[in-house]
Structure 1
Amino acid sequence: MTKIKLCGLRKMEEIKIVNQWKPDMIGFVFARESKRYVDPETAALLKRNLDSAIRSVGVFVNEDADKVASLLESGVIDLAQLHGNEDASYLKKLKEKTKKPLIQVVRAVDRMVLKAAEQSTADYIMADSGAGTGKTFDWKILSEIRRPYFLAGGLDEKNVGVAIKELHPFAVDVSSGIETDGKKDPEKIEAFIQAVRQQREVNI
């Protein structure tokens, strides 16, 4: 059953919305260059008000491993999503500091890159078109992946059902697809989650 991750949450009203719809995961972006950046103190406050059934994911870009581990071990986040150039040695170092799950993001540019990503020591991999571009990529190149993966990049309520039907990803990840004018849109959040759940029922 494909899980749902809503990324880029920054405000308390957004937490109230997701508490109502209960996706499996939400994401806090800790990369300062992102327009969706949230500082650790705000993330901690949002986490305290998040439904306990929803897991929080921290999104990082080439962040110091100690800082990532600190946020994981303090409970601000439950998983870390690595969106930069983190290599095998970085993953090894981080795994020595925390046992919490790690997601390594892979730019889905061709089959060779994705096949190499299958060897990642991260708990999960995420196939994405780029660093929050909000654009889809050729899903056909995912056909040879033999490990569970998150699907990201250009998903919205209109295409997520097709993605699940064709690819059966472990999880789908959305950010810009649930926004209007750069802000999280309650109606789009509802529509996205409903689209995923409807396809889940078809796949049962």
Structure 2
Amino acid sequence: MTKIKICGLKREEDINYANNLKLDYIGFVFAEKSKRYVSLEEAKKLKNLLSNEIKSVGVFVNESIENILRYIDEDIIDIIQLHGDETEEYISKLKSKTNNKIIKAFEVKSENDLELAKNSSADYILLDSGKGTGKTFDWNKIKSFDRNFFLAGGISKENINEAIDKFNPYALDASSSLETNDVKDFEKMKEFVEIVRRKR
């Protein structure tokens, strides 16, 4: 039962699409350098429109713990995604201050990256090709990987079946492949969701 996460939602229409498709997770990007960045105030409005059955994930890159806690305190995010150079010490400190689940993203370039991912104290891990590159990494590297993970980086309708059949990820995480002219495209999202759910 592979779960579905669509990241980079930033408009009311995007939230309507997510509710309509009954996604498992949606992602708000709080990294200012990203073209999918949303402010705290924008995300708060969007979260108020989001179905209670969908978990909201806040994507942070080397953010201060105090700032992350503010998004939790204001009920904007349910889950924290760390997409920078956050250390085990950082994760431990964050865990001591909140019970919200943590996803730690790892850019898969070598066996060492996978070893770090396997031993991470985060609640979930996400294996990716980089920060929003929209490209896949060499999936052969994760053939023997034995921990539940979100699979991201270039996930599209063309490779969903391969991803699920070969690696059985906990969740698939897509963003740029579901956009037209840099905004989420409902038809692409719908097709993506339908392909994943046919595999369940």
Alpha-carbon shift at residue 171 of structure 1 (Å): 0.5
- Cα distance in 2 for partners of 1:118, 1:162 equals 22
- Cα distance in 2 for partners of 1:74, 1:170 equals 28
- Cα distance in 1 for partners of 2:47, 2:11 equals 11
Alpha-carbon shift at residue 140 of structure 1 (Å): 1.1
Is residue 195 from structure 1 mapped to residue 195 from structure 2 by the alignment? yes
Partner residue in 2 for 1:184: 184
- 1:44-59 pair list within 5 angstroms: 44-59=44-59
Partner residue in 1 for 2:85: 85
Large movers: runs of 4+ above 4 Å? none
Q: Give the share of equivalent positions with the same residue, in percent.
A: 47
Alpha-carbon shift at residue 112 of structure 1 (Å): 2.2
Structure 2 runs not aligned, ≥5 long: none
Worse-superposed segment, 15-24 or 110-119: 110-119
Letter in 1 for 2:123: D
Letter in 1 for 2:131: A
- Cα distance in 2 for partners of 1:113, 1:13 equals 36
Q: Deviations over 1:82-132 (max 9, x none)?
A: 000000111111111101000000011122210221111100110000010
Partner residue in 2 for 1:17: 17
TM-score for both structures, normalised by structure 1: 0.96
- 1:65-84 pair list within 5 angstroms: 65-84=65-84
Worse-superposed segment, 2-11 or 65-74: 65-74
TM-score for both structures, normalised by structure 2: 0.97
Structure 1 runs not aligned, ≥5 long: none
Alpha-carbon shift at residue 67 of structure 1 (Å): 0.9
Question: Secondary structure of the equivalent of 1:135?
Answer: coil
Letter in 1 for 2:197: R
Letter in 2 for 1:132: G
CA contact (8 A) 1:66 1:94 kept: no
Partner residue in 2 for 1:97: 97
Partner residue in 1 for 2:130: 130
Partner residue in 1 for 2:160: 160
CA contact (8 A) 1:103 1:125 kept: yes
Alpha-carbon shift at residue 70 of structure 1 (Å): 2.0
